[in-house]
């Protein structure tokens, strides 16, 4: 039976550490807020935004909600971001994606000051990550690293295959595993013989965005399997990109969905917010 990489427990551990840190900062008069902007009322986004607000409340940092109508223009959104960039109390700005089609996502992400880019999506944050300089790390990949490390999984020298090359998961995930001294292979939609490649992985990280795509045929015995995917199956239950029941008996460790990578993402967002507030001290 595989060891379960318990994101629920580890994310709580991180949030409790952050809660303590935020309280100590507050005692010294150092406080700040996270501004969360949602455009439109996409139900999944509403759930994510609510979870982020709840996490802020748990840790004891202020969250400011900006719920804008679907027809908000790009200019209006950029003007709000500019105002929040100038607002000293706001230490983090998060724009919930996806945005409505008439808004250029790239222009919006570029408008957020890198100092407040707690999602880690600004090109300056991405560049800093690539060359190992200080900057906010994207929350989902950083959460996977914490989940592995805090579960005692050795990364250095291991062959890691990451399935997926998106800007928010696959690419940064590969870079962070490289930073941890793994030997990394990135697989994507044009990769030849994906099954054979995945079978060579000591650590297989799946961010393919297809429900239960990875079956036992993709997994080497004893591999560590991290499932980043989140989907609702036809019974409205959450499932990942990995067929858990088939893969779990083969793996040495595996993330469940839900309760694996998902809660880690929010914990790392909170980590970035507290780090940003802490910088006020310096």
Binding site for ligand NAD (CB under 6 A): 140, 163-166, 168-170, 187-189, 191, 194, 207-209, 228-230, 241, 261-262, 265
Instruction: Tell me if residue 52 is catalytic.
Output: yes
Measured from the CB atom, is 35 or 207 closer to ligand NAD?
207
Instruction: Tell me if residue 104 is catalytic.
Output: no
User: What angle, 0 to 180 degrees and rounded to 10, lies between the N-to-C axes of helices 261-278 and 139-150?
Assistant: 110
User: Which one from 38, 96, 146, 212 is the annotated catalytic residue?
Assistant: 96
Q: What is the CA radius of gyration of the chain?
A: 19
Measured from the CB atom, is 48 or 84 closer to ligand NAD?
48
Question: CA–CA separation, 95 vs 67, rounded Å?
Answer: 10
User: Sign of the C-alpha dihedral, residues 244, 228, 238, 6?
Assistant: positive
Alpha carbon separation from 202 to 135, 173, 211, 222, 226 (Å, rounded)? 29, 15, 22, 8, 11
Min CB(173)–ligand NAD separation in Å: 9
Min CB(282)–ligand NAD separation in Å: 30
Min CB(153)–ligand NAD separation in Å: 18
Measured from the CB atom, is 92 or 263 closer to ligand NAD?
263
Residues 6+ apart with CB under 8 A from 25: 31, 274, 277, 278, 281
Instruction: State which residue has the least CB distance to ligand NAD.
Output: 166
Instruction: Tell me if residue 96 is catalytic.
Output: yes
Measured from the CB atom, is 78 or 130 closer to ligand NAD?
130
* Contact assessment for residue 227 and residue 182, using Cβ atoms and an 8 Å cutoff: no
Question: CA–CA separation, 13 vs 18, rounded Å?
Answer: 9
User: Which one from 52, 158, 171, 243 is the annotated catalytic residue?
Assistant: 52
Min CB(263)–ligand NAD separation in Å: 8
User: Which one from 119, 202, 227, 241 is the annotated catalytic residue?
Assistant: 119
Measured from the CB atom, is 80 or 121 closer to ligand NAD?
121
Min CB(15)–ligand NAD separation in Å: 15
Structure tokens at 65: 């909600």
Whose tokens are 């779990």? That residue is: 248
- Catalytic amino acids? 52, 96, 119
């Amino acid at each position: 039976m595989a060891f379960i990489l318990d994101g629920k427990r580890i994310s709580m551990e991180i949030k409790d550490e952050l809660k303590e840190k935020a309280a100590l900062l507050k005692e010294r008069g150092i406080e700040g807020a996270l501004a969360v902007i949602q455009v439109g009322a996409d139900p999944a986004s509403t759930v994510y935004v609510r979870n982020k607000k709840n996490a802020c409340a748990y840790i004891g940092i202020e969250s400011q909600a900006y719920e804008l109508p679907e027809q908000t223009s790009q200019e209006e959104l950029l003007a709000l971001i500019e105002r929040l960039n100038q607002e000293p109390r706001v230490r983090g700005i998060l724009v919930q994606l996806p945005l409505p089609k008439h808004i250029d996502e790239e222009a919006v992400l570029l408008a957020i000051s890198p100092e407040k880019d707690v999602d880690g999506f600004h090109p300056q944050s991405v560049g800093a990550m690539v060359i190992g300089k200080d900057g906010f790390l994207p929350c989902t990949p950083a959460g996977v690293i914490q989940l592995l490390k805090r579960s005692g999984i050795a990364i250095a020298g291991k062959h890691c295959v990451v399935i997926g090359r998106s800007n928010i998961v696959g690419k940064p995930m590969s870079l962070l595993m490289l930073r941890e001294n793994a030997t990394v292979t990135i697989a994507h939609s044009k990769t030849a013989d994906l099954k054979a490649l995945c079978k060579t992985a000591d650590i297989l990280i799946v961010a393919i965005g297809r429900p239960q795509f990875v079956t036992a045929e993709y997994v080497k015995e004893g591999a560590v399997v991290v499932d980043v995917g989140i989907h609702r199956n036809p019974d409205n239950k959450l499932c990942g990109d990995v067929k858990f029941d088939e893969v779990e008996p083969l793996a040495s460790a595996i993330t469940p969905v839900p309760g694996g990578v998902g809660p880690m993402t929010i914990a790392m967002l909170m980590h970035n917010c507290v780090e940003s507030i802490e910088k006020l001290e310096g």
